[in-house]
Structure 1
Amino acid sequence: MKKSQIIVLIIGIVAVAILFSLPRVVVDNEEGGTQISETEESSPIIPESMHSSPVDESLLSKIEVLRTKLKSEENKENFANFADSLASLYFQASKFDSAGFYYEQAVERAPTMERIEKTGIAYFEAYTFALDEQKVSYLAEKTRTYLNNVLENDPKRLDLKTKVAMTYVSSSNPMQGITMLREILVEEPTNEDALFNMGVLSIQSGQYNRASERFEELIKFHPNNLQGQFYLAVSYFESKQTNKAKKQFEQVKGMTTDPMVLSSVESYLERL
């Protein structure tokens, strides 16, 4: 997972807590396109109660102007351009569900592959932060609908295939996502997102030795991946490789000044 990636992941104790709240699945013990359907055109409305934190004042006034224009715009291309701009502002404000909604409005009026991809990515970003089970399912389905449409036209987009794969992990068919990640690694063994997400899934399923192998492979090719460096240390810690864990946590300390990460590292070091 951008998370993408995550599949969609926060470094630190909070991240690990969220990680373990996901459904437990067995990982790595052994080594057609979607059509975008048009919906009835209506004035887009996003309830602000969807947002856990307010939108910054510097963006809010721009958002209100565009929403007003959108309500009265009848020309489809102009409407789509306004919706694009509005979605971009919401994306900038990290209100990814609203961004996905407005990108989707743009697609319905004037579909382009670029807009379809932006819609899928916005919904994926919203998916990675969602906690409510119903919302997770809804956003996962939206992600797959739009990104699979892009993949139908460009199957080589492994970055998008990784995002789609991660939406299956918390579904009723998690092995479908794991199979997709394995397929990506067969095609591109050094794929950063796939290696990272397979490592995370191995941690989540309690396979810490397997996780450390995945993260060792990840940082071998992508040494600046801070999340991978951190989770490698966690994997060593959980698999009782004390010396390796201490050395790895110290290395993470030298890679960042982020107080959240440093606090998490110190909490692990105190337990070694």
Structure 2
Amino acid sequence: MTKQQSILVGSGIAAILALFIFGQTVPPKKPNVAMAAAANNQQAPATVNFTDLLAKAKQKLTPEQNERITRLENSVTRGDVKEQQLHIYHQLARFWRDSAKVLEPYIFYNAEAAKLENSEKNLTFAAHQFLDNLMVEGDPAMQTWLATNAKVLFEQALKLNPANDSSIIGLGACYILGNISNNPMQGILPIKQIADKNPKNLYAQLILGLGGKKSGQYDKAIERFTVIVTEKPNDLEGLLNLAECYDGKGDKANAVKWYTEVKKRIPNEEAQKELTNRIKQLTQ
């Protein structure tokens, strides 16, 4: 099996498990798309903009829902008072979350409200909504859209509290995972400084591990994920990433070992089936 094939198989399992592990509000896209692109050094992804995402989301609405949304959107453009705009953004976010159940407009409008509120708590919450979805998103263009929005929010939050390690790590993750910079060290160095200072900062270890995994530096990634599972033996995210890194580098024995550890801890039947199939493939 080639490295590219191994990446595709392992990331297919990640797609199945992502909903269970990350608790997404909508099913995630398959990570293997992004991993294959990275493995084959494809060109920069096409641009995604919110106007197109919103238009696509509206196609799923009833005429009555579309009419309601249009009224709210028009109210935003007419509202010249901050409190009025803030109220409408909250209404739009709630609609897309509760009534339409579409992720992208929900997190976008929630972010617009957070920018107006300019509260560190709300800014970082909104930023992590983009970042959490970035970590399981497979389409490179969507990765860039998510990372770009998260970056703006983290930067605004860091103006309020420059010493917040979590926001520094989050901002670095945007550069490492979001295709928004040709210089990944721009994101890696600040996170590495935090990890060097405090090796038990598992968030820093996770992002550095994901960066190594994305770039195919599996040995470095394995070091990071090993720190995580040593500190938290039941951490499904760390266990799965560790298994996939061993899978990616062609170490079948360790891949089977860690896929088996994931299988022991996850009750989802579909995920169990995918893990069983992958373990059989590796042991044949």
TM-score calculated relative to the size of structure 1: 0.69
Asked if 1:161 corresponds to 2:168, the answer is: yes
Alpha-carbon offset, residue 235 of structure 1: 2.7
Contact kept, 8 Å, 1:162 with 1:194, in 2: the verdict is yes
Q: Which residue of 1 aligns with 2:231?
A: 221
Segments of 5+ residues of structure 1 without an aligned counterpart are 1-9, 26-43
Alpha-carbon offset, residue 66 of structure 1: 6.9
Alpha-carbon offset, residue 228 of structure 1: 1.2
Q: Which residue of 2 aligns with 1:12?
A: 13
Asked if 1:187 corresponds to 2:202, the answer is: no
Contact kept, 8 Å, 1:11 with 1:261, in 2: the verdict is no
Q: Distance in 2 between matches of 1:52 and 1:198?
A: 37
2:88 to 82, 86, 99: 82
Q: Which has the higher helix share?
A: 2
1:147 to 141, 147, 154: 154
Could you report, residue by residue, the CA deviation over 1:99-144 in whole angstroms, capped at 9, with x for unpaired residues? 34323543565544444334433443565537253x5444433322
* Residue identity in the other structure for 1:12: I
Alpha-carbon offset, residue 162 of structure 1: 2.3
Q: Distance in 2 between matches of 1:240 and 1:105?
A: 44
* Residue identity in the other structure for 2:86: A
Could you report, residue by residue, the CA deviation over 1:148-194 in whole angstroms, capped at 9, with x for unpaired residues? 11122223433322221122122322221222321221233122222
Of stretches 97-106 and 16-25 in structure 1, the one that deviates more from structure 2 is 16-25
Q: Which residue of 2 aligns with 1:244?
A: 254
Asked if 1:124 corresponds to 2:131, the answer is: yes
* Residue identity in the other structure for 2:265: M
Where 2:199 maps in the other structure, the secondary structure is: coil
Paired positions, count: 241
Alpha carbon RMSD of aligned pairs, Å? Answer: 3.7
Q: Distance in 2 between matches of 1:124 and 1:250?
A: 28
Could you report, residue by residue, the CA deviation over 1:220-256 in whole angstroms, capped at 9, with x for unpaired residues? 1122321211122223334454443333222211100
Q: Which one scores higher on RCO, CA 8 angstroms, separation ≥ 6?
A: 1
Where 2:36 maps in the other structure, the secondary structure is: coil
Q: Distance in 2 between matches of 1:215 and 1:80?
A: 40
Q: Distance in 2 between matches of 1:17 and 1:52?
A: 28
Segments of 5+ residues of structure 2 without an aligned counterpart are 1-10, 16-29, 41-49
Q: Distance in 2 between matches of 1:217 and 1:72?
A: 50
